[in-house]
Amino acid sequence: MSRRVEFHAETWPLKEPFQISRGVKTEVTVTVAEVSEGAHKGRGESVPYAHYGENAEAVIAAMKSVQKNLELGCSRADLLGLLPAGAARNALDCALWDLEAKIAGRTAFDISGAAAAREPNTALTIGIDTAERMAAKAVQLKDCKLLKVKIDREQVVEKIRKIREAAPSPRMIVDPNESWDIELLEQVHKDLAALGVDMLEQPLPAGKDEALQGFVSAVPLCADESCHTRADLPRLKGRYDIINIKLDKTGGLTEALALKNQAESMGFRIMIGCMIGTSLSMAPALLLAEGAEFLDLDGPVWMERDRDGGLNIDFGAISPPSAEFWG
């Protein structure tokens, strides 16, 4: 049976500005792929990321470049060889997973063999602001299980101290988004450990993190921008303890599952992350949640509105969507 393939971009407003070390977002543009076969339709969403040289137009053009292959029955395995890792392949790969599940009348969990996490719980994120405003946000989130704090080079220890005073119970991730150098890391890592920080995510720029080789951090280090696919893992040994798997970096769930398996076999601890997007971006990532030490899938929390039937997130506790929504 022939397939029908469609692509489009959508812009979704955020309910408040989201600031990291690289800038501020007030809306997010996503790209959506829909692959239909008979009465069944699979959907996938990705988030073009300017930091990786992506935009919606280029992502849609990349998807259109393989449209004929998809219409002729291209598989997920075939797709790995047709497009590089990134947002275009992610949307298509996730759409093919969804389509396969709906045609088979099974869930994506069943098809993949992945176990569902019993009580998936995501980090809730505090964006960069003044120390006082960040602490005020922490008060609102003090009863969640995991906080993620975006930070730059300014008042690092002071801000984390105020946040910890405001929210003494949650585990905490601190994420500089590549804005530090090794000198700053050396200055603050012991203080952050003393404040109960559980993980420091990508402190140094990707491609300039060789200074981490052999560095003994008091806080476990996680590779985010430095880790996209399995090909990155060998050079991360001795630099990072944890890897952050995001579908938009791996180019879909197929590579993400393989990356997780290989990383675990090499002794890396696992974080599952996201770009800010709707629940259609988050749902496939739940197949990676079991066994992951950290989940950061709060993208929909930042949206002014989400897709109907998406994830419900209550102080970090995730209620997954139905298989009709995705997978």
pLDDT tens per residue, range 92-118: 999 999 999 999 999 999 999 999 999
Same domain, 180 and 309: yes
Q: Does residue 145 lie in a domain region?
A: yes
Phi, psi of 156 (to 5 degrees): -55, -60
Q: Does residue 224 lie in a domain region?
A: yes
Same domain, 84 and 226: no
Same domain, 98 and 155: no
249 in Cβ contact with 89 (< 8 Å): no
Same domain, 159 and 298: yes
Q: Which residues contact 272 (CB under 8 A, 6 or more apart)?
A: 244, 245, 246, 285, 288, 289, 292, 294, 295, 296, 297
Residue with tokens 């975006």: 150
Same domain, 100 and 128: no
Q: Does residue 111 lie in a domain region?
A: no
Q: Does residue 116 lie in a domain region?
A: no
Give the integer Cα–Cα distance in Å for 175 and 222: 9
Mean pLDDT, residues 139-160 taken together: 97
Same domain, 97 and 172: no
Give the integer Cα–Cα distance in Å for 125 and 199: 14
Give the integer Cα–Cα distance in Å for 164 and 14: 26
283 in Cβ contact with 325 (< 8 Å): yes
The DSSP output letter for 47 is -
User: Is residue 64 flagged as an active site residue?
Assistant: no
Q: Does residue 75 lie in a domain region?
A: yes
Q: What is the pLDDT of residue 187?
A: 98
- Any bridge partners for residue 317, and if so which? 121, 314
User: Is residue 15 flagged as an active site residue?
Assistant: no
Same domain, 94 and 167: no
Same domain, 99 and 130: no
Q: Which of 137, 246, 249, 260 is catalytic?
A: 246
Same domain, 81 and 129: no
Q: Does residue 112 lie in a domain region?
A: no
147 in Cβ contact with 201 (< 8 Å): no
Closest Cα to residue 320, out of 299, 310, 278, 293?
A: 310
Report the amino acid identity of residue 66. Answer: V
Instruction: Look at residue 1 and tell me whether its pLDDT is greater than 80.
Output: no
Q: Does residue 314 lie in a domain region?
A: yes
Instruction: Look at residue 19 and tell me whether its pLDDT is greater than 90.
Output: no
How is residue 79 written in tokens?
């797709």
For residue range 228-264, list pLDDT tens digits in order.
Answer: 999 999 999 999 999 999 999 999 999 999 999 999 9
Q: Does residue 99 lie in a domain region?
A: yes
Domain limits at 74? 3-106
Neighbours of 4 (CB within 10 A): 12
For residue range 52-101, list pLDDT tens digits in order.
Answer: 999 999 999 999 999 999 999 999 999 999 999 999 999 999 999 999 99
Instruction: Look at residue 130 and tell me whether its pLDDT is greater than 80.
Output: yes
Same domain, 151 and 23: no
Q: What is the pLDDT of residue 22?
A: 83
The CATH number linked to 294 is: 3.20.20.120
Confidence of residue 318 (pLDDT cuts 50, 70, 90): very high
For residue range 167-184, list pLDDT tens digits in order.
Answer: 999 999 999 999 999 999
Q: Which of 102, 148, 150, 162 is catalytic?
A: 150
317 in Cβ contact with 286 (< 8 Å): no
Same domain, 188 and 288: yes
Domain-ending residue, one of 46, 78, 106:
106
Confidence of residue 127 (pLDDT cuts 50, 70, 90): very high
Confidence of residue 24 (pLDDT cuts 50, 70, 90): confident
Q: Which parts of the chain are beta strand (E)?
A: 3-20, 23-37, 40-46, 124-126, 146-150, 171-175, 199-201, 221-223, 242-245, 269-272, 294-295, 312-314, 317-319
Mean pLDDT, residues 195-202 taken together: 98
Give the integer Cα–Cα distance in Å for 83 and 72: 16
User: Considering the chain, what is the average pLDDT of its residues?
Assistant: 97
23 in Cβ contact with 38 (< 8 Å): no
Q: What is the pLDDT of residue 28?
A: 96
Same domain, 135 and 57: no
The CATH number linked to 40 is: 3.30.390.10
Domain-ending residue, one of 106, 141, 171:
106
Give the integer Cα–Cα distance in Å for 225 and 218: 21
Number of independent structural domains in the chain: 2
